[in-house]
Amino acid sequence: MTQRQLAQRREQAGRVVAELARLYPHSTCSLHHRNPLQLLIATILSAQCTDERVNQVTPALFKRYPTAQALAEAEPAELERLIQSTGFYRNKAKSILGCCQAIVERHGGEVPRKLEELVHLPGVGRKTANVVLGTAFGIPGMVVDTHVSRLSQRLGLAKAGPPEKIEQQLMAVVPPEEWVALGHRLIDHGRKVCQARKPRCQECTLEPFCPRLGVKDAPKSAKLRQP
């Protein structure tokens, strides 16, 4: 990317950040939690599952297993039963058990505060690690889920690629102090307006400066317009 292209993306990012802040001033993580461990486990459960469903499951789960030590010692069958409705429950139970065992053995039962330590926990990737860092600890991290990936490309902030590449592109054009809030706001906007199959462009206040890259049935001029 040339310096001119980088400057253009930063200018576009500034417009997006400002408008989303106006639209969603109170955006926050929709997974219910009381501490970093609960957020970590809820985020693991949220893979291929709605946050609403996870929030229905976690109260009983955290009541039965309130600490990393308790989860590390959980019977797999009972853990699977409690989380079954979130889908892929066997793999998720295996990840939760391994993750909590590692937290107990390596970190004294406390969720670590460093990205490189979090991603070495079983079942924890960069997205989950950044959710925990940003929401639980207030440490800047750029979460890239399906909504963030889709919107960042449509809005001309990043080009298609794996989540880690999109994360790097966003971090290059958005100030660190905006990373956490922008992630929450892009997710909210992706759920409410800029949906995957039928984005509601006619209702979107970002439309005047959105190139709508990759949006099906977008006018030809909009597809070609670059920020």
* Closest alpha carbon to 62 in 38, 31, 83, 87: 38
Neighbours of 90 (CB within 10 A): 12
CA distances (Å), 123 to each of 13, 58, 93, 149, 225, in order? 31, 17, 10, 21, 40
Tokens linked to 36: 């970093």
Whether 51 is catalytic is no
Whether 159 is catalytic is no
Choose, from 51, 114, 127, 217, the residue flagged as catalytic.
Answer: 127
Q: Which helix (H) or strand (E) holds 165?
A: helix 163-173
- Which amino acid appears at position 5 of this protein? Q
Choose, from 145, 159, 192, 223, the residue flagged as catalytic.
Answer: 145
> Which residues does the annotation mark as catalytic?
127, 145
